[in-house]
Amino acid sequence: MSLPESHEFVRLVPLADLHRHFDGSIRPETLWELSEKYYSAVPGLDFEAFRRYLEWDETQDRTLLDYLDKFHVPLQYTQFYENIHRIAYEIAQDAYADGVRLLELRMNPLIHRRAGLTTRQVIHATRKGLSRFGEEHPDFRAGIVIIAMRSHGGNMARILLREVVGEKEEYHAGVGVIGFDIAGPEAAFPPLLFTDAYKLATQMGLRTTVHAGESEGPERVWEAIETLGPDRIGHGTSAGEDPELIKRLARDGTYVEVCLSSNLQTGAVASLADHPLPRFLDAGMNVALCTDNPTVSNTTLSREIGLAMQTFGFGEQDVRDLAAMSCRGTFLAGGCHFAR
């Protein structure tokens, strides 16, 4: 995952990652340690074989379903407060080591409640892990974006929002909840089902984003912006197929959270060269370059920037501009302190 020597300057640029999933960012070594703790290791597996259940394998993985399969194993270990706290701390530690100084970590608390934790306990453990790292590194800031799964429906989304209201950033000295998102199957669960949830999120003072245009066409992005009015769009890859949509996103200043490696792995684009990122930027759109799932995609934010440089010919100033633009898109109170 090391960058070419010519791209080492990226490590000197303060970075912001606005789209990083909790359960897709856990260290394989930590999961292996926990598997030994709970199961005396997994029968028939060594560590390298275990990693293949967590990371994209170019030799055998092909589809979005293959990508999503990588999230099953981590969920065995994220049902306990102390594990969630540790993992959140380590995610911050790994991000910081890669040059990230502003991190928005998103999670769906409901999938971490199978051993009896409440939604607030899941969020509290995550907050405390991120806050502990932030106390040790004052130049690091983090916030939590709550995800409601589309397949759980609009009512559950509203219930989830009411459960997390006490965990909002403004009520805590350290890390808190700053945003709301929906994720999951786009075709079967359109944005219309979540109109009331997004109204509630806005009333609560949360900023909003929507996973859209990753597995479906630009019509899903249109539906999201027309129906939900989000501040940002997660992925939004298929927007590149619709010039009018690109104009609309640029006009409104709606950020698109671009995740190059995962877009390639899930089939959102056929090749990196086909990715609409350059078209987005040429049209004046706001773009945040993000990791999505560093463990699953076997990537880092600096590597994603390196891929953009190699694929699209971005220079050093392009990277600095993109890093600053990403930072300006944050939902954190007070905004970005290092973007120029």
Catalytic residues: 214
The neighbouring-strand residues paired with 209 are 232
Residue 59, Cβ density class (10 Å: 0-12 exposed, 13-18 middle, ≥19 buried): exposed
**277 within 8 A of 312, measured Cβ to Cβ:** yes
**168 within 8 A of 206, measured Cβ to Cβ:** yes
Q: Give me the amino acid identity at 228.
A: L
In whole angstroms, give the CA distance from residue 293 to residue 301.
Answer: 10
In whole angstroms, give the CA distance from residue 147 to residue 292.
Answer: 13
> Where would I find the H helices in the chain?
28-39, 47-51, 64-69, 81-97, 119-136, 153-164, 195-203, 218-227, 243-252, 260-265, 277-282, 294-297, 301-312, 316-328
**How distant is the alpha carbon of residue 169 from its chain centre?**
18
The neighbouring-strand residues paired with 289 are 258
In whole angstroms, give the CA distance from residue 212 to residue 147.
Answer: 13
217 is written with which tokens?
């066409």
189 is written with which tokens?
């669960």
